[in-house]
């Protein structure tokens, strides 16, 4: 497979390798003979917001799995907050794909958030009971979730559940926040609520954000850089550098038009499978 390296500058002026909290060097990920991406160099600075875009199967979730220490790269090096990726790193927060929780789930919201401190272990865990309660309360505050924190999570709306997932990701005070399509199946109002919670975190705590999404527009004002993956090829750069007809036509190897209307970016192409035309309805 031909692999194109980042022709766009790939680093914004504020992303210096020495200060980056996520760093991939010549990283390749493949499953068997299939290469998802190769020669990937990416440095993410504290407080930077990187949107990860690409069609189904292009390796976006796999990138997050690599950073979480759940999947080794085939070659190259990866550092996250100065360390090799490893499971259970409390300096990394993770907001998984939005999926409705079972209605019968009786766990309270505040207990779900507390799992972000102790993983699957119940009890007082690494922190004393009082410190733990304070951390959970602070995370609930950050997402304005006190009103429903004691209700069974299975009875909450999708937007409320997603706010709790963000709180769970923030409770360990992470330096890097990995978000896997956190806006999926949320209505516009809740998309704005959740994305501004994430934005507030990176502005107040300088937390870097890698944000996997199929739709850039809901987060476009927040995005510093885009990593766009297509079929083993990728581009890294600012939205203005990457979201152009020329760059996307090269990536998709098809004629793609990019139309900007009222501050939004619309990607139009004859080819099926364009990232922005794919809303994953089948998953919900």
Ligand X SMILES: Nc1ncnc2c1ncn2[C@@H]1O[C@H](COP(=O)(O)OP(=O)(O)OP(=O)(O)O)[C@@H](O)[C@H]1O
The footprint of ligand X (CB under 6 A) covers: 31, 36, 54, 56-62
Cβ proximity to ligand X: between 44 and 274 the closer is 274
What is the closest distance, in whole angstroms, from the C-beta atom of residue 284 to ligand X in the complex?
13
What is the closest distance, in whole angstroms, from the C-beta atom of residue 212 to ligand X in the complex?
7
Cβ proximity to ligand X: between 171 and 267 the closer is 267
What is the closest distance, in whole angstroms, from the C-beta atom of residue 242 to ligand X in the complex?
16
What is the closest distance, in whole angstroms, from the C-beta atom of residue 119 to ligand X in the complex?
22
Cβ proximity to ligand X: between 71 and 196 the closer is 71
Cβ proximity to ligand X: between 8 and 36 the closer is 36
Nearest to 260 by CA among 249, 273, 247, 244: 244
What is the closest distance, in whole angstroms, from the C-beta atom of residue 54 to ligand X in the complex?
5
Cβ proximity to ligand X: between 36 and 170 the closer is 36
């Amino acid at each position: 497979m031909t692999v194109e390296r980042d022709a766009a500058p790939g680093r914004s002026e504020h992303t210096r390798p020495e200060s980056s909290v996520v760093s991939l060097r010549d990283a390749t990920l493949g499953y068997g003979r299939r290469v998802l991406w190769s020669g990937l160099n990416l440095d993410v600075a504290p407080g930077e917001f990187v949107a990860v875009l690409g069609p189904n199967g292009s390796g976006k979730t796999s990138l997050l799995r690599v950073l979480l220490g759940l999947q080794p790269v085939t070659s190259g090096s990866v550092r996250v907050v100065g360390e090799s990726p490893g499971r259970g790193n409390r300096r990394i927060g993770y907001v998984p794909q939005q999926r409705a929780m079972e209605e019968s789930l009786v766990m309270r919201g505040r207990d779900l958030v507390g799992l972000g401190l102790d993983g699957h272990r119940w009890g007082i865990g690494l922190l004393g009971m009082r410190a733990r309660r304070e951390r959970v309360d602070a995370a609930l505050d950050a997402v304005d979730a006190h009103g429903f924190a004691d209700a069974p999570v299975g009875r909450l709306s999708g937007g409320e559940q997603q706010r709790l997932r963000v709180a769970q990701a923030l409770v360990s005070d992470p330096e890097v926040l990995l978000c896997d399509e956190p806006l999926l199946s949320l209505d516009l109002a809740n998309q704005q609520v959740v994305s501004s919670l994430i934005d507030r975190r990176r502005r107040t705590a300088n937390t870097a954000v890698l944000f996997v999404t199929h739709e850039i527009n809901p987060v476009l004002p927040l995005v510093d850089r885009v990593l766009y993956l297509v079929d083993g090829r990728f581009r890294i750069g600012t939205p203005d550098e990457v979201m152009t007809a020329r760059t996307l036509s090269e990536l998709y190897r098809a004629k793609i038009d990019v139309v900007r209307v009222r501050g939004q970016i619309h990607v139009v192409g004859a080819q099926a499978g364009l990232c922005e035309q794919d809303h994953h309805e089948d998953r919900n």
